[in-house]
Structure 1
Amino acid sequence: MGSDAPEFAGKWHDDEGSPLQLLFQRLDERDGPVRMHLDHGSDDVDAEIARLLRLGATDVGPGRAWHVLQDPTGSRFCVTGNSPEPTTRRDLD
């Protein structure tokens, strides 16, 4: 997971086998609250979107390589086709 694009500040993968992967992105927003955005990787994007909608998410719509949802508190997140499989790589830039 990751990108060489300059807006990405780093990435983290757990060495202990967790499927959690974090990608840190720089934002040019100087005002407003600090916020976060999660991308949820899935091997079956359509099934995961349906599951999350049943759990209370709201469908915002498709993006280029992701699908945007909103949780019940109003925070948006994306479902992507990035595999949630564990990785043995850890990379902190």
Structure 2
Amino acid sequence: MLIRIFKVVAVLEAFSWLALLIGMYFKWIAQTSEVGVQIFGPIHGGVFVAYVAVTALVARRQRWPLFWTTALALGASIPPFFTLWFERWAVRAGRLDAVPAR
């Protein structure tokens, strides 16, 4: 269940980042409206915090190395759409496979 939540939050983080960037375009470049930033700023902020929290839980459960997989997962939340790349990589690399409970 936690792995599925991680995957969903990774996708939501990427698309909320995109929505915020579009809102920032209209606010700062087109200078037409601040509505996109007002709406998607808090949404992206909440999803970002959720991504960090879920990443911490998954890292602990999956026993990810702190300075490689965990740092890569957290760093992937900064550039747009890198959470999607990380999630795909983690699946292919077996980092999201089921791990027996301690």
Report the TM-score range of the alignment, normalised by the length of the smaller protein.
under 0.3
| Greater Rg by CA | 2
- The TM-score, its normalising length taken from structure 1, stands at 0.28
Whichever structure has more strand as a proportion of its residues is 1
Whichever structure has more helix as a proportion of its residues is 2
Asked which structure has the greater RCO (Cα within 8 Å, sep 6+), the reply is 1
